Chain A
Amino acid sequence: MLKVRVIPCLDVKDGRVVKGVQFEALRDAGDPVEQALAYDAAGADELMFLDITASHEGRRPIHEVIARTADVCFMPLSVGGGVRTVEDARRLLLSGADKISINTAGVENPDLFAAASDAFGAQAVVAAIDAKQVEPGRWEVFTYGGRRATGLDVLDYARLAVERGAGEILLTSMDRDGAKTGYDNALLRAVTGAVTVPVIASGGAGQVSHLVDAVKDGGADAVLAASIFHFGEVSIAEAKAAMAAAGLPVRA
């Protein structure tokens, strides 16, 4: 049976792992390569690597850092941040990434999903969506690291991204990001009900019960978290033990 994945996220700025509280007030949590090695040894199911300020500053991802990270990871690695063209995606994949995550550029040009999917397969293309609740049961897509409102409905955009070729959705609740009050399970339920590809829950994990709820209540296929893992509040093993105790399939 397919396992629910536990995915630590390395938000990276200037080659260092950081974690923002609602995308501001960054704290330094260390070197990406060291973190990747530690998570590899701890049994993380996958690693997400986001260059969080890339679009905002008009920079390109730091391929050397990604390559060094990928070299010590014998686990799947997703990389995002500033992916604007098929060539950007190709360079990341050749640096050692298994999947590339497209955020702002996908909103501005949904055909990028089709082009990337044709070139690398849908399994390598992740649509990263930053969602903010605008009224009960309705969420809006934001771009540029949560700085710009798009007016797009999250469910419409999720369907469009999958139709064009995204093989997975990384769904971040901006309302919950850094708040540690649990994932937005209503948002998760809405998106997992709207698309047939796997959905990764992101934003809001504060304790192990939140990981369980994202799957049981939200229907998530994978749970992503940063600060609870980075600062040692919860280990990967503890997260998996709690999920297994709740009857969820996890990798031993």
Chain B
Amino acid sequence: MQTTALIDYGSGNLRSAEKALRKAAEALGGAHEIIVTADPETVAAADRVVLPGVGAFAACMTALGERAGLVAAMEEAVRTRGAPFLGICVGMQLLATRGLEFGETPGLGWISGDVKRLQPTQSAAKVPHMGWNDIRPETISDLFQHMPSPQFYFTHSFAFYPEDPAVMTASVEHGGRFAAAVERGNIAGVQFHPEKSQASGLALIGRFLEWKP
């Protein structure tokens, strides 16, 4: 039995992420236990870590920091032990060095780069970027093999612009091209919401549960 710690820090999409993880785990035959937790010991010992997130970068970073020992436990599991990590939406953006949403907020800094407001070059592209969009593979990623569809659900006004473009495994076009997914070693993040992307989202979560980076 493998454990996946879904980080509980008051994120709005926690319940949906939990449902989708359980559904994907069930489809894999029950070898995965999903634990919704903010307990540092549980997180530090987990085989996999998922960080959800919606809303404002600064608010999410503050909420994460307020849970005593949580960030250190995530560092222990992911950075020291190499447990596979998946950040979803703002959970992905928190990987950045800093967020430039309301002023400047330091992120986890696991993948260098900034989180900035979308500034579409064509006025037809509206912000928030809301709805289903096609992602384009940029590099080969195990996580995106055998997807039933390249369409995923996005809802965001800010995006992660990594310093090293090579970490961008998939991109999306909306008045300019930006990161739909990033990956470096055992650390992955997706800007879209797999927990809301029906079959393609559940397939991606299933790939993550089996991922051996």
Contact = CB atoms under 8 A, between A and B. Distances in A.
B126 A70 contact: no
Contacts of A209: none
Contact of A119 (B59, B156, B198): B59
Q: Which DSSP category, helix, strand, loop or mixed, fits chain B's interface?
A: mixed
Contact of A123 (B23, B130, B134, B173): B130
Interface string B148-172: 0101010111000000000000000
B151 A3 contact: yes
Contacts of A3: 131-133, 151
A94 B131 contact: no
A120 B55 contact: yes
Interface residues of B, number: 39
Q: Which DSSP category, helix, strand, loop or mixed, fits chain A's interface?
A: loop
Interface in B13-50: 13-16, 19-20, 23
A189 B17 CA distance: 36
Interface in B45-69: 54-56, 59
A197 interface: yes
Q: Which 9 A-B pairs have the closest CB atoms?
A: A121-B55, A123-B128, A93-B12, A123-B155, A3-B132, A251-B132, A167-B128, A120-B55, A76-B196
Interface in A96-147: 96, 98-99, 118-124
Contacts of B193: 76, 98
B98 interface: no
Given A167-B130, A168-B130, A74 B195 contact: yes
B201 interface: yes
Interface of B: 12-16, 19-20, 23, 54-56, 59, 90, 123, 125-134, 149, 151, 153, 155-157, 173-174, 193, 195-198, 201-202
Given A5-B132, A168-B128, A123 B12 contact: no
Interface of A: 1-5, 40, 43, 45-46, 67, 70-71, 74-76, 93-96, 98-99, 118-124, 167-168, 196-198, 221-222, 251-252
Given A167-B128, A168-B130, A43 B198 contact: yes
Given A2-B133, A123-B157, A75 B196 contact: yes
B200 to A, nearest CB: 10
